[in-house]
Amino acid sequence: MLVVTGGAGFIGSNLVRALNAAGRSDILVVDDLRDAHKVLNLSDCRIAEYLDMHDFLSRITAGQDLAPKLEGIFHLGACTDTTEWDGRLMMRANYEYSKQVLQYATACKVPLVYASSASVYGAGREFRVSEECERPINVYAFSKLMFDRHVRKVAASFRAPVVGLRYFNVYGPGEAHKGKMASVIHHFNEQLKRGDEVRLFTGSDGYADGGQLRDFIHVDDIVAVNLWALERGGKSGIFNVGTGQARSFNDVANAVLKWHGRGQISYIPFPAHLQGSYQSYTRADLSGLHAAGYSASFIPIEAGVPRYLDAVATV
């Protein structure tokens, strides 16, 4: 059996669907369904069992068996709201919870693949998996970095591979329930459903209007790296997962406009509450991932945006 925490969420449900496509349905999904809208992400999936995250946490802290044969854990469950400033909530959900999952995986001698985040790099210009590049600028990023640091600290105790994946800006089907934290592609698409313009931020940190640069990666690529990380065996490690390309919000908006065949871009003032806690530039350094043996190419936005919009248009 495989465990997928956050399995009803955006990336988790896409991972479950990919496992189904590979012939696996012996999957235990763990999630928090207080927002039950995201259960729709699993409506076409086959799973063996579901556990509420609190019940799951109680069972693993008690050392109970989850299945006769547990083969691995994908730990994607987290509070992903980068604008949340309740530090106690964030550290419980992203740090303490993750430590318990790691301890359980280590005790059971099963591989763990977990979601970290490119937010740990903050406002820097280098995105290497190196402590000198890690400068979080919000509590979400801090919670993710603290777990990465914990993983590094206890690495000698691992009895199976532990792989952390630092996701850059992920987009794709299944993210609608995330609301304000959904990708800009989702928001641009929704704006064009209601009107004839997409709204981007004016310039910040020296960038022109809509010129801020991010590494946008399709969820299919994220899923592919997760499956590779579990299947590869071998050494533990923390890896960036992005395309290795920095693209402007203008580029992304134009890809959405092209798919719709209409519309225009307008610019709104950069929000005051994001000043000092916003990444205006990201670009994954993929040298570590490539050195570990991952060689598949990544989907550029010119192909990824229409793939995404085609998929949601048929739902």
Give CA–CA dist 284/116, Å, rounded: 13
Residue 103, both tokens: 């301890």
* pLDDT at residue 272, as a whole number: 86
Q: What is the domain-level CATH number for residue 121?
A: 3.40.50.720
Same domain, 101 and 228: yes
Same domain, 77 and 156: yes
Same domain, 238 and 261: no
Same domain, 238 and 136: yes
* pLDDT at residue 235, as a whole number: 85
Q: Which of 50, 99, 178, 267 is catalytic?
A: 178
* pLDDT at residue 314, as a whole number: 80
Same domain, 189 and 237: no
pLDDT per residue as tens digits for the range 95-109: 999 999 999 999 999
Same domain, 86 and 231: yes
Pair type for strands 162-167 and 237-241: parallel
Same domain, 191 and 119: no
Rounded average pLDDT per 10-residue block, the chain, 315 residues = 97 98 98 91 96 96 93 93 84 95 97 97 94 94 97 94 98 94 96 97 93 97 97 89 98 98 97 84 97 96 98 86
Give CA–CA dist 153/130, Å, rounded: 14
Domain count, the chain: 2
Give CA–CA dist 314/300, Å, rounded: 22
Identify which of 111, 312, 90 has the alpha carbon closest to the alpha carbon of residue 218: 312
Same domain, 164 and 35: yes
Same domain, 121 and 191: no
Would you call 153 a catalytic residue per the annotation? Answer: no
Pair type for strands 213-214 and 247-248: antiparallel
Q: What is the domain-level CATH number for residue 277?
A: 3.90.25.10
* pLDDT at residue 85, as a whole number: 81
Same domain, 119 and 193: no
Would you call 140 a catalytic residue per the annotation? Answer: yes
* pLDDT at residue 83, as a whole number: 73
Q: Which of 97, 140, 167, 278 is catalytic?
A: 140
Identify the domain containing residue 115 by its residue range: 2-171+216-244+285-298
* pTM recorded for the entire structure: 0.95
> What's the residue count for the chain?
315
Residue 291, both tokens: 């050195």
Q: Are 240 and 127 in contact (CB under 8 A)?
A: yes
The three-class DSSP label of residue 61 is helix
Same domain, 153 and 206: no
Burial of 198 (0-12, 13-18, 19+ CB in 10 A): buried
Give CA–CA dist 216/118, Å, rounded: 11
Give CA–CA dist 40/47, Å, rounded: 14
Same domain, 128 and 260: no
Where does the chain show beta strands of DSSP type E?
A: 2-5, 27-31, 49-52, 72-75, 112-117, 162-167, 169-171, 197-201, 213-214, 216-218, 237-241, 247-248, 264-268
* pLDDT at residue 101, as a whole number: 98
Phi, psi (deg, nearest 5) at residue 23: 95, 10
